[in-house]
Amino acid sequence: MKLRQKKVLTAYMFLSLPLAFFIFIRFYPMIYAFYISFTNWNIISPVKKFVGIENYVKIFQDEVFRISLFNTLKYVILGVPVVIILSLGLALLLNNITKFQSLYRLVYVIPYITPLVAVSWVWRWMYQRPPIGVINNFLSAIGLPTGTFLSDTAQALPSIVATTVWVELGYCVIIFLAGLQTIPKEYIEAARIDGANRRQVLVRITIPLLNPVIVFLTVMETIIFLRIFTQVYNMTDQGSGGPLNSTKPLVLYIYQKAFKSFEMGTASAATTILFLIILGITVLQLRVLNKKVQY
């Protein structure tokens, strides 16, 4: 056996164990959940009776599922553009700072590394009515009407989106900053010599060259908002996704079906639908946004 073949064989031997572990942890549960979605298993009984597509028909007839699906899409539509635009703006500002840039990076990344449960409860406290809630106290102090936030069906979901945006900003700013520092300065200097102003440099040079970073963050943030759970569970009354299901996302619907109603077949069918939605949106985003730019 040649030395090169020995190196390849050794590499495969080292990779085989984590690969087997990954397949067992990731793919086996996914395939098993797909199988369970065609049964009426209730987690207590050992019997798993095959019921075909009955669970899929059942959940689409369930009004709570339809509300949860719509809420999940609203989280994505409201949250992802705000995170991407705000973090890009902050990264552009930070990229121009020479002093204390590391300190500003740390300040922005702290919410991301803070446990999400703690963040959710702090924001829940901040959204409380006066005199407890900090936000309402501030609004009262500057003469603005106070808000009902988490107790209002119209304001609850945007309030949770705001919390999630605040958490995700730090991570996206760091990734955008890394992307900005890979852009050759010669391109920007050449554009300025040709008479381009700041807006033209941003639109014609910076943003096109940041396209791979924008695609990556858009896909990742879409997946995060599609799988939103912890914030809703901790910020709504008794983790119900209320008021009146106005904040309930698909993941919370799946959790309640699986571990409160013990309808594992229905929960698995909803899980399969969520997986297909994430897969479809991710593939669509990669096809639409992933454009190669060369100068």
At 177-217, the pLDDT tens digits run: 999 988 888 888 888 888 888 889 888 888 988 988 999 99
At 120-131, the pLDDT tens digits run: 999 999 999 888
Q: Which amino acid is at 83?
A: V
Burial of residue 86 (CB within 10 Å: 0-12, 13-18, 19+) is middle
Residue 106 has a pLDDT of 85
CATH class of 38-289: mainly alpha
Residue 292 has a pLDDT of 65
For the chain, which residues make up each domain, given as ranges? Answer: 1-32, 38-289
- For residues 44-83, one letter each, b for 16 or more C-beta atoms within 10 angstroms of the residue's C-beta and e for the rest, the string is eeeeeeebeebbbebbeeeeebebbbebbbbbbebbbebb
At 3-27, the pLDDT tens digits run: 788 888 888 888 888 888 888 888 8
Confidence of residue 229 (pLDDT cuts 50, 70, 90): very high
Give me the residues paired with residue 50 across strands.
39
Which residue from 169, 168, 162 is spatially nearest to 124, judged by alpha carbons? 162
Note the pTM of the prediction, 2 decimals: 0.88
Confidence of residue 70 (pLDDT cuts 50, 70, 90): very high
Mean pLDDT over residues 102-116, rounded? 87
Evaluate whether 87 touches 172 at the Cβ level (below 8 Å): yes
Is residue 5 helix, strand or coil? helix
DSSP state of 151: G
pLDDT at 65 over 80: yes
Mean pLDDT over residues 142-153, rounded? 90
SS3 content of the chain, % helix, strand, coil (to 5): 75, 0, 25
Which residue from 243, 228, 253 is spatially nearest to 120, judged by alpha carbons? 228
Residue 267 has a pLDDT of 94
Q: DSSP string of 264-279?
A: HHHHHHHHHHHHHHHH
Helix (H) or strand (E) holding 72: helix 63-95
Mean pLDDT over residues 72-87, rounded? 95
